[in-house]
Amino acid sequence: MENENNSKLKEQLKDILVTEIPKIDYNDIIGLQNPINIIRERITLPILYPQLFSGKRKLERGTLFYGPPGVGKKLLIKAAYNEANGKIIWVSCAKMANKPKEEKEKLIDELNEYANKNKPIAIFFEEIDLIFGESEIEEIRKLASQFLTKINSDYISSELGINLLATSENPWKLYPAINRRFNKYYIALPETKDRKLMIKHNIQNLYNNITEEQFDKLGELTEGYSYSDINNLTQEVINLSKEKCLSEIYFKYLNENHIIPCSSNEQDSFEIKNKDTFDKKNLITPFIIFEYFTMSLQKIKSTTDKILLVKYEKFTEEKGLKRL
């Protein structure tokens, strides 16, 4: 009967839940060690070992990560979801925001009921300001009041086996009563050394001749790039490498079994006008060189609004929050 009730509740919530989470773990995340430590200490460990978080060790508040798009907030939650064996209810606030007021109130009640039936568990609100922002203030106040009645300080405590997790790109828009219920952490754009590590990670299984000094240079050239921007850049480099293989007519042997495209003036280069005349298994693609990155950097730029970055820094400083 309990499983039947669970299935019914999940069916009622399906329109606002994200259920298809890719198999990502913390090893797939570069440069976010501090956020990883926080989400493990405050979310996944209380789910996996609730007995360790009772009494004076109980968590009094939820956990909110904020920052610009593309810095790895969702990637972090995906890894936590998998570590917690799916014991995180992933709520899409974008989907919930489009629901009528009465349906939102009903969904809050159903979330509460589902969480209580499946403890230990965490509820994750993706972009929480979309439903608990300060627009349409009367509706938000009522919804927040209902939420806080259900999700009071004892409920948030993992002593009861339930915890809260959220992300936001606009933390300054949060309704104050909701804002106070979270410890907030700023995930900023990656530093130079982390951008370098991300690029190395993205092409680590591909043939390349990029030196350590060139990787250092790429870390510097990508200042202002987000995690997502770095992924877009390396994908552009890979695509460019494939295009070069199709368009070049000069090649050279990388080793006795494999050839790569090259320029006509390189030592030991040879011409292949008809690519049907050689075994395609011998052609390595993609083969990545530094110049492909410098070419791709002309096309793939940082997508982060600099004015917005100033706003994040000011908000973090004024609120005395932690920058990760």
User: Can you spell out the DSSP letters for 209-233?
Assistant: ---HHHHHHHHHHTTT--HHHHHHH
> Is residue 1 scored above 50 in pLDDT?
no
User: Which residue has 């932690």 as its token pair?
Assistant: 322
Domain ranges of the chain: 2-189+313-323, 192-301
Class of domain 2-189+313-323: alpha beta
Q: In the structure, what pLDDT confidence band is assigned to residue 260 with cuts at 50, 70 and 90? A: confident
What's the pTM?
A: 0.85
Place 281 in a pLDDT band, splitting at 50, 70 and 90. low
Of the listed ranges 30-34, 219-223, 226-230, 243-247, the least confidently predicted one is 243-247
Give the pLDDT band (50/70/90) at residue 301.
very high
pLDDT band at 153 (very low <50, low <70, confident <90, very high): very low
Nearest to 93 by CA among 142, 140, 135, 127: 127
Q: What is the CATH number of domain 192-301?
A: 1.10.8.60
Name the pLDDT band for 14 (thresholds 50, 70, 90). confident
Backbone φ, ψ for residue 246 (5° rounding): -80, -30
* Residue 293: closest CA among 205, 228, 190, 208: 208
Strand partners, 270: 251
What is the structure's pLDDT at 158?
Answer: 47
Q: CA 67, 68, 71, 73 torsion: positive or negative? A: positive
For the cut 70, the answer to whether the pLDDT of residue 95 exceeds it is: yes
Distances in whole angstroms, Cα of residue 240 to Cα of each of 191, 237, 263, 267, 275 = 26, 5, 15, 23, 18
